[in-house]
């Protein structure tokens, strides 16, 4: 976070950034001593502000999906750097190897010890290759579970961050029993006697996300998505085609934070700056920190058996529906 990140403009943001470029050039000319009409600068500043507000106030589900995947969004390691002290990262699953697509360790948030675990994507292509684009192998989930059990042993609350397209689907992952690793996490997280809080940072894809998301409280960033499948995967299965169908799939999946909050799947939507977390990661991280601490203050008062029962019921009630006989 300390180093300057390369600006990456999303397709729908281009008109806004073109205006910002025009404004920056005028301001630079003014600072260089050239005679520039001040009214023209003020007018362009108002246009930029108005355009920005309109753009980010009318985001489509596909726009939100694009923002959720932005490489400059705050990551798990960014949270470690910006919001914690006395952090100690831990490595390895004690069976096969360390999976860099999941990171975790002990850290303090306002002097409160937490075990923090999360998916980790890269900020550029080289980092993404190293971290497998945030798609864990079985050893990543086993490492996460090892750290959670360690936290439970010392009665330390657990905070997890979700940001993955899904678990890695390669042959080697299947050979090492990917589905079993995920299923065991789902089972064992439900039985941990400590508070668990999950934050969906960007992309929450399928069982690869849920494997570290069986929590007492699930919070979503304003511009994040959470779904059983990606819009591209959905479009490919339903219509066997791409293009604009991605956008249609994003609509019907109901995968945005607003949709999932209305369905009762998540407990809170954490606000982002008006132009998205990728444009102001530091402010976003402070918003996350504030929300996490508020939920922890409630959960810390509950006994272990209550926490486990609450977690079990929370996930069992998902997908409930009522059936009534139509009157003739």
What pLDDT score was predicted for residue 284? 95
Integer angstrom CA distances of residue 271 from 7, 79, 307? 22, 16, 26
The yes-or-no verdict on residue 53 having pLDDT over 90 is no
What pLDDT score was predicted for residue 5? 54
Helical packing angle, 61-68 and 245-253, nearest 10°: 90
Confidence of residue 163 (pLDDT cuts 50, 70, 90): very high
Strands (E), the chain: 85-89, 102-109, 112-119, 158-164, 196-205, 217-221, 225-227, 268-270
Eight-class DSSP state of 278:
G
The pTM is what? 0.88
Tokens describing residue 265: 């799947």
What pLDDT score was predicted for residue 3? 46
Tokens describing residue 42: 């003020």
Look at residues 189, 194, 148, 213 and name the one whose alpha carbon lies nearest to residue 301: 194
Torsion of CA 170, 146, 90, 303, to 10 degrees: 130
Integer angstrom CA distances of residue 172 from 3, 68, 78, 136? 35, 28, 30, 12
């Amino acid at each position: 976070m300390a180093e300057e990140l390369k600006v990456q403009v999303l397709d729908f943001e281009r008109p806004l950034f073109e205006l910002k470029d025009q404004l920056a050039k005028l301001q630079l000319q003014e600072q260089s001593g050239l005679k520039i009409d001040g009214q023209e600068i003020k007018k362009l500043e108002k246009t930029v502000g108005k355009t920005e507000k309109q753009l980010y106030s009318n985001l489509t589900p596909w726009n939100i999906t694009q923002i959720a995947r932005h490489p400059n969004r705050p990551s798990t390691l960014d949270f470690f750097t910006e919001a914690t002290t006395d952090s100690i990262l831990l490595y390895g699953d004690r069976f096969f190897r360390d999976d860099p697509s999941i990171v975790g360790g002990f850290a303090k948030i306002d002097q409160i010890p937490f075990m923090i675990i999360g998916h980790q994507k890269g900020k550029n292509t080289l980092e993404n290759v190293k971290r497998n684009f945030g798609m864990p192998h079985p050893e990543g989930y086993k490492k996460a579970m090892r750290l959670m059990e360690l936290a439970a042993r010392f009665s330390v609350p657990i905070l997890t961050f979700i940001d993955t397209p899904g678990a890695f689907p390669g042959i080697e992952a299947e050979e090492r029993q990917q589905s079993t690793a995920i299923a065991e996490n789902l089972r064992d997280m439900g039985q941990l006697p400590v508070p668990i809080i999950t934050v969906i940072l960007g992309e929450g894809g399928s069982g690869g996300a849920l494997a570290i998301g069986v929590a007492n409280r699930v919070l979503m960033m304003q511009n994040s998505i959470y779904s059983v499948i990606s819009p591209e995967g959905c479009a490919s299965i339903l219509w066997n085609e791409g293009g604009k169908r991605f956008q249609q799939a994003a609509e019907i999946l109901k995968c945005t934070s607003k949709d999932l909050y209305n369905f009762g799947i998540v407990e809170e939507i954490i606000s982002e700056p008006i132009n998205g977390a990728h444009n102001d990661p530091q402010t976003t991280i402070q918003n996350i920190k504030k929300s996490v601490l508020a939920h922890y203050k409630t959960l810390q008062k509950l006994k272990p058996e209550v926490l486990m029962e609450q977690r079990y019921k929370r996930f069992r009630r998902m997908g409930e529906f009522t059936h009534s006989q139509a009157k003739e």
